[in-house]
Amino acid sequence: MSKFITKTEAKEVFRNDYLPEIKQKEAMFPNLGIDSSMRRTAWNDMVDALNKAGYVSDNQAMNWKNPYDK
């Protein structure tokens, strides 16, 4: 098994690969404002995908606090 990525690395993946698309959707619908639930959901989906692909352990996936939770 390869080395698991760290939460810092996961945040970088999110910033580079997920956040631009979310910001684009937010810009398309400015009346909705910044949708933090979209960011929370995207983070959870990304961590789940990384876990299923073997880049994040079960323990990491279960214990990482979502940085977009308020």
| 17-70 pLDDT per residue, tens | 999 998 888 888 777 666 678 889 999 999 999 999 999 999 999 999 999 887
Asked whether residue 70 is assigned to any structural domain, the reply reads no
Band of pLDDT at residue 6, cut at 50, 70 and 90: very high
Q: Domain limits at 19?
A: 7-63
Asked whether residue 35 is assigned to any structural domain, the reply reads yes
Asked whether residue 46 is assigned to any structural domain, the reply reads yes
Asked whether residue 68 is assigned to any structural domain, the reply reads no
Can you tell me the distance from the alpha carbon of 38 to that of 16, in angstroms, rounded to the nearest whole number?
16
Q: Count of domains in the chain?
A: 1
Burial 28-61 (b: 16+ CB within 10 A, else e): eeeeeeeeeeebeebbeebbeebbeeebbeeebb
CB 15 within 8 A of CB 52: no
Asked whether residue 2 is assigned to any structural domain, the reply reads no
Query: What does the block give as tokens for 65?
Result: 């606090």
Asked whether residue 69 is assigned to any structural domain, the reply reads no
Q: Strand ranges (DSSP E) for the chain? A: none
